[in-house]
Amino acid sequence: MTLHELITQAPKSDIHVHLDGSLRLETLIDLARERGVALPSQSAAGLREQVFKPVYRDLTEYLQGFQYTCAVLRDGEALERVACELAQDAIAEGVRYMEVRLAPQLLVTRGQELGGVLRSVAAGLARAARDFRASAAVVSGADMPFVSGIICCAMRNFQRGMSGYYDALLDAFPSMPHKQIVALASQEMARAAVASRDRDGLPVVGFDLAGEEAGYRAGHHAAAYQEAHSRFLRKTVHAGEAYGPESIYEALTLCHAERIGHGTWLFAPDRIASAAITDREGYVNALVEYIATRRITIEVCPTSNLQTMPELGGDLANHPVRRMIERQLPVAVATDNRLVSHTTVTAELCRVADCCQLDAAGVKRLVLAGFKGAFFPGSYAEKRAFVAQAAARIERLAQRSGHGNK
């Protein structure tokens, strides 16, 4: 058994995957037809040629497809279907733990409530998990069950026309500075996430900040993160995509981040903007050591980064994932957007393993990292048991393939 085969057969995790970027193309076409949403093409091949391309010019082109996916997801039936299909697709490739993230405020219309969006997504995930749990493999103990959680995203910035929710909020506070309205929306999202977990019993496991990073600091959302922090909701932040080390530092210190989404410019002292930081190399090194010591997981989405960051030249060798692994940072490889990036967890793991020339021990650590970094919708004891179950299965596969205890 090759290392690629070990990755393919091993239980895997996906802790950074966006619902609205991970639809099946056939489902997008069906939902658009049913809801009267105009698409550039009515065929999967046409959409792949015009919208969901293998290669994008820049982030703007990459994000073009979300106008269509979000448009078809603004009702409970569609949300439940897409969540269920995403979980089914993940299960089929060996994913046994997944955290689905979405921005409910993007997917509601006027008069709807955020909790309804989350209930629909939770129902879809639960249906897929329930069906798999009844499968012969899980019933016999030959396979482990599928567990999932939901991460609620606030947006760093929004404009009129992005959703009915945002339009209503802008209408309600016509004279309030825009940044204050954005911060208010983030606080409402944090409160809704906590209420959905505590009142409705939904598997909401974390809070996130997504969207435009350049010009919209994570620190502007500190109150929302304090709301989540005070209610023991786990926290991650998209950081280090458009800004460098300072953005990651701000996420850790002002937003109590326990994980970092992407973190691509962690090792980029030239992207430090503050004139007060004179020893830029020293600052980066201290930040990296802090992340390593605190075991703060970096959610790395290689293909997505190559598609949205022209500076990487489309070559994973230019991505910092190898340095992250060499510095012994906890690296959890994830998909980000399965449709938009044409990828799976298996493909992403194989790509990183090849680029970083990992041996069997390195592959096993990489595969297991997402389970360890999970915000898991259960007790700590339950999480430890689940991680141990995944680790044992990975080791058994490795033993059978001759890669055990390496």
Q: Catalytic residues, which ones?
A: 241
What DSSP line would sit under 15-73, residue for residue? Answer: EEEEGGG---HHHHHHHHHHHT---S-SSHHHHHHHTS-SS-SSHHHHHTTHHHHHHH-
Using an 8 Å Cβ cutoff, are 83 and 107 in contact? no
Largest CA distance in the chain: 67
Half-sphere exposure (CA, 13 Å, Cβ side) for 233? Answer: 31
CA distance linking residue 321 with residue 323, whole number of Å: 5
* Two structure tokens written together for 135: 């499968």
What DSSP line would sit under 325-345, residue for residue? Answer: HHTT--EEE--B-TTTTT--H
3-state SS assignment for residue 185 = helix
CA distance linking residue 54 with residue 23, whole number of Å: 16
* Two structure tokens written together for 200: 């409705």
Nearest CA-CA partner of 114 in 170, 161, 168, 67: 168
With residue 148 as reference, give the H or E element that holds it: strand 147-155
Using an 8 Å Cβ cutoff, are 236 and 257 in contact? yes
CA distance linking residue 162 with residue 211, whole number of Å: 12
CA distance linking residue 110 with residue 262, whole number of Å: 32
Phi first, then psi, for residue 195 (nearest 5°) are -65, -40
CA distance linking residue 235 with residue 251, whole number of Å: 10
